[in-house]
Amino acid sequence: MIVSCISYKGGVGKSTISQNVAVCLAHTGNKVVIVDADESQNSVYWSEKRDDKYQKIDVVKCTNDKKIAKQVSQLYNDYDFVIIDSPPSQSVIADKIILLSHLVLIPVTTKGGSEINTANQFIDQLENLAILKQKKIKAYFIVNEFNPRANMHNEFVEVLQEMDIPLLKSKLHARVAYGESNVLGIGAYEHPDKKAKAEIVAVANEINSILKEI
Ligand SMILES: Nc1ncnc2c1ncn2[C@@H]1O[C@H](COP(=O)(O)OP(=O)(O)OP(=O)(O)O)[C@@H](O)[C@H]1O
Ligand SMILES: [Mg+2]
């Protein structure tokens, strides 16, 4: 299956979710590759820090919009899951990633700014692509860095629930474990923080259930 993490905003958790979902899926016996399509190459650097004692996850760079379709479809022959960590902008490569994916995950966070506008822009672009290519696109928002004690966060989730893209039931809370995992080349699944592990397992399970329906 091809699953992408994509948003037109930077710093919302595309790389964190790509890496953590990849680790979870690898631990349940899947052969997993991350395609790092972002010039900043966060997932490539993450994999360079990953110790051999952990489940193997290949990470390949592909930032070329003319090559990504071919590269991803070749990888799809050899892996159970191709996870695409995407660049933070609306671009030709971002459109191609959306069209290549069986499932598009759109991480959303709120700091009280323009997140809903950006989410609406994303919805518009998905509709445009679906019409242009006559293709059904399966996409879900996923809330990241959630703080249940912040009213603003709960209100944000309520607004998201009314939007035209469904929301994953599982959320990622703001946790030090994610930053540490990124630095160490691991996933929260492999981190001592059991709450982080449990929530990323819930995300991976939800993704698997969605993909089973395809
Ligand atoms: N749930 C979380 N809790 C705590 N820190 C987080 C969480 N999710 C992401 N972060 C941290 O926030 C920063 C941005 O996350 P990440 O790199 O995954 O975002 P991104 O969308 O890939 O960013 P970019 O657009 O720059 O590629 C990183 O330092 C990451 O460790
Ligand atoms: Mg990133």
User: What is the pLDDT tens value at each position of the chain, 214 positions in all?
Assistant: 999 999 999 999 999 999 999 999 999 999 999 999 999 999 999 999 999 999 999 999 999 999 999 999 999 999 999 999 999 999 999 999 999 999 999 999 988 878 999 999 999 999 999 999 999 999 999 999 999 999 999 999 999 999 999 999 999 999 999 999 999 999 999 999 999 999 999 999 999 999 999 8
- Model pLDDT, residue 113: 78
Number of structural domains, the chain?
1
- Ligand 2 center from residue 79 Cα (angstroms): 22
- Model pLDDT, residue 185: 98
Given CA atoms 173, 11, 105, 21 in this order, what sign does their dihedral have? negative
Q: Among 12, 16, 115, 181, name the best residue to mutate to test ligand 1's pocket (greatest count of ligand atoms within 8 A of Cβ).
A: 16
Q: Name the token pair of 67.
A: 């090559």
Q: Alpha-carbon distance 94 to 6, whole Å?
A: 8
- Model pLDDT, residue 197: 98
- Model pLDDT, residue 26: 98
Q: Is the CB of 181 under 6 A from ligand 1?
A: no
- Model pLDDT, residue 16: 98
CATH number at residue 80: 3.40.50.300
Nearest CA, atom 3, ligand 1: 174
In this structure, the dihedral spanned by the alpha carbons of residues 60, 99, 162 and 22, taken in order and rounded to 10 degrees, is -20
Q: Which amino acid makes up residue 108?
A: V
Tokens 């930053």 correspond to what residue? 179
> What domain range is 75 assigned to?
2-212
Which residues lie closer than 8 Å to 114 by C-beta, 6 or more apart?
A: none
Q: Is the CB of 187 under 6 A from ligand 1?
A: no
